[in-house]
A and B are shown apart, each in its own frame.
Chain A
């Protein structure tokens, strides 16, 4: 054995000590993770989640760097491991109006979207979970691989030194163990390196089916766990509600009720959303929209229901109370808060309990007992079934499997349970519908009245005035005909011009009321005609099996017209496409351009106008226009199509 080899073995030994130490550090990091994750996932305190992940990365990065040090092993694997993490997202960029977008929402301050980006970055990175896997396994595997050589050397030395006087063979045996420790050190180190790379190195591996299944089960359990946490979170809210109700109806302190009703709504709202996202049960929000304070009566008071209020402030207060307490959804929320910890909580706890007890209560303790880690079962609770130790492992595993099998059904049940009390009742659905119809009807009548006023004004100032002028002119012509034929001729030419102008004005007016080409050809050709009149290259594709009702055709036509104008004027598009289609009883129009985007329904009154106009027919406008483009607007209007017009030729 050359000195070089001894030195390498010694270095490997030291390295092993360091690795063993890191293994213990991994255990500490794992405990920290658990301390933050349990409330983070279990109670929904998600702001706790990034802290341990970020802190843990310092440790794993240190391990990656160490994997590159002490490269005396000569196996060419001494390079530091590359970072497997996805690049950290930059700070959120504000839009033109100074608000910050994230997903489908705008935020006034940057820190909320910044935090959400951080969460997406950390929790969406598979490397985070592999770090976690490393932390779980390293206390055992890492410590063993790193510490075994040192332990052998140390134990050999100690055995030789302490037993040399008693047995003659103690010294050679101790030395042999120490040499064996030195000999296996480089080999174990390589093994450790491989193992570390497997967990912490950069990877392009496709997850195997088992891993996918495992991730799926894990996600399922995490969802059940989160829902359980939310069910328990309902308890304090239920207590709060009970106190508020008691104060209101028992003592008469009404003031507390409205804020309580409003401020507990976040939990039912969250559960409605989760029911849709996790359980696949769509639960709409049932709350009635907040009414507006009524107009002042002639006697100066405000009427809310049967009450009269002197000041607007008290009227608003009374209105709020009435709005919240008359809403059936408020009472159903109360009921749900009271019942969910029992119904939802127990149903969620059952599969989680079965899995937890099956594995950690029966199978694992029994396994430990088999390898002698625990001398006796202690109580029946751990590691035995009805006094029988042998049954513990199969029964425990079966219990866990049963829990896993039941988990999807329990998740679905949870969604249905939420829908049962949290979904809008037929009555509140109707109320919401009435509210919507009232709004759109008001919009429709208002815009119709405005339209009529505009037509009246245009006729009054335009064609009507010109016809009067023409009449006067013709009277003058009559008078001048014999006296001054020359002047009469000039006036006649003027009258003709005036009539031409009046016609042009009337033509424009007619176009604004109901375009002739729409009346003559229907929506498809009218949109084609619009495209031809647009100065930007515009392509129209049509898949309409028939014609919508005339009012819908008209609304759709003006909407497309407005959108084309926007695309040319504001987006400065070079190319526009328009598609007219019909599916599932809805007319669907897609207008897309390659312009600079940045359109906003809240600011562009044109888009708002379209929204209102189509709202009369229960139509919706969907706008997608990121800064820099492209802009896509989708209009959808439920309607029936008439059979296509038969050609007359």
Chain B
């Protein structure tokens, strides 16, 4: 799997590059700045890009802007955005085009290599990887509204993991439930939130995220 990596700090770039290589990825480019990133994404068309939000030369959200620009050129280009802080504002912008292949995680999540690599794979496959912090904030806002408040605590747990972009089997593993039990919970959640159920994991996640953001 071909990866483009954008990170301006040498130590982090090197560490990420090594970790991805160790897990069988092919890091085709590791760049430092926003313009370099945009050029690499459009030229190399990688299977997935791992991008730091803040990049030179302006040290603002240049990584995010480059990723969004590339996705406008190449719809659905998988991008996993990393940051020292997560903002719902950025999550909305990443999700705005309604296509999958988007990830947005705190840099801390890299500490757990297995989960991080899993997230990169999910994004590369057109799926989602949303940081638990983003989901928690979304739920905090939505939980004042009646439909979300009606969910049982178990259903909430399932909803959180689902919104992070995990599959039924992954959710089952996390919560020590059978896959069919998770399926029942998701069906119930969709019923309570008045969303049309979908077998496609990806579309399901987008529907849930769109719902939660609408509540905000």
Partner-B contacts on A (CB < 8 A): 496, 499-500, 503-504, 507, 510-511, 516-517, 519-521, 525, 528-529, 532-535, 537, 647-649
Q: List 21 A-B contacts (CB under 8 A).
A: A496-B111, A510-B84, A510-B85, A516-B54, A516-B84, A516-B85, A517-B85, A519-B59, A520-B53, A520-B54, A525-B89, A528-B89, A529-B88, A532-B216, A535-B141, A647-B65, A648-B35, A648-B62, A648-B65, A649-B38, A649-B65
Q: Contact check: which of B58, B59, B66, B108 meets A649 at CB < 8 Å?
A: B66
Chain B residues in 8 Å Cβ range of A511: 85
Contact A507 B85 (CB under 8 A): yes
Q: Contact check: which of B35, B66, B108, B216 meets A503 at CB < 8 Å?
A: B108
Chain A residues in 8 Å Cβ range of B34: 648
Contact A517 B58 (CB under 8 A): no
Chain A residues in 8 Å Cβ range of B65: 647-649
In terms of DSSP, what is the predominant structure of the interface of chain B? helix
| Nearest CB of chain A from residue B95's CB, rounded to whole Å | 13
The answer for the CA separation of A130 and B53 in the assembled complex, in Å, is: 74
Contact A500 B53 (CB under 8 A): no
Question: B84-122: which have CB < 8 Å to A?
Answer: 84-85, 87-89, 92, 107-108, 111
The verdict on B44 contacting chain A, using a C-beta distance below 8 Å, is no
The answer for the CA separation of A537 and B145 in the assembled complex, in Å, is: 11
Chain B residues in 8 Å Cβ range of A516: 54, 83-85
Q: Contact check: which of A499, A528, A535, A537 meets B140 at CB < 8 Å?
A: A535
Partner-A contacts on B (CB < 8 A): 34-35, 38, 53-54, 58-62, 65-66, 68-69, 83-85, 87-89, 92, 107-108, 111, 137, 140-141, 144, 216
Chain B residues in 8 Å Cβ range of A517: 85, 87, 89
Chain A residues in 8 Å Cβ range of B108: 500, 503-504
Which residue of A has the minimal Cβ distance to B53?
Answer: A520
The answer for the CA separation of A519 and B84 in the assembled complex, in Å, is: 13
Contact B89 A529 (CB under 8 A): yes
Q: Contact check: which of A496, A507, A533 meets B137 at CB < 8 Å?
A: A533
The answer for the CA separation of A519 and B83 in the assembled complex, in Å, is: 14
Contact B216 A521 (CB under 8 A): no
Contact B61 A499 (CB under 8 A): no
Contact A532 B89 (CB under 8 A): yes
Contact A532 B88 (CB under 8 A): yes
Chain B residues in 8 Å Cβ range of A499: 111
Which residue of B has the minimal Cβ distance to A534?
Answer: B141
Which residue of A has the minimal Cβ distance to B140?
Answer: A535
The answer for the CA separation of A516 and B92 in the assembled complex, in Å, is: 17
Chain A residues in 8 Å Cβ range of B92: 532
Contact B84 A507 (CB under 8 A): yes
Given contacts A521-B61, A649-B66, 10 further A-B contacts (CB under 8 A): A500-B108, A507-B84, A511-B85, A517-B85, A517-B89, A520-B53, A532-B87, A534-B141, A535-B144, A649-B69
Select the residue from A504, A511, A533 with max chain B CB neighbours within 10 A.
Answer: A533
Which residue of B has the minimal Cβ distance to A529?
Answer: B89
Which residue of A has the minimal Cβ distance to B109?
Answer: A500
| Nearest CB of chain A from residue B31's CB, rounded to whole Å | 14
The answer for the CA separation of A529 and B141 in the assembled complex, in Å, is: 13
The answer for the CA separation of A529 and B140 in the assembled complex, in Å, is: 15
The answer for the CA separation of A528 and B87 in the assembled complex, in Å, is: 10
The answer for the CA separation of A175 and B141 in the assembled complex, in Å, is: 96
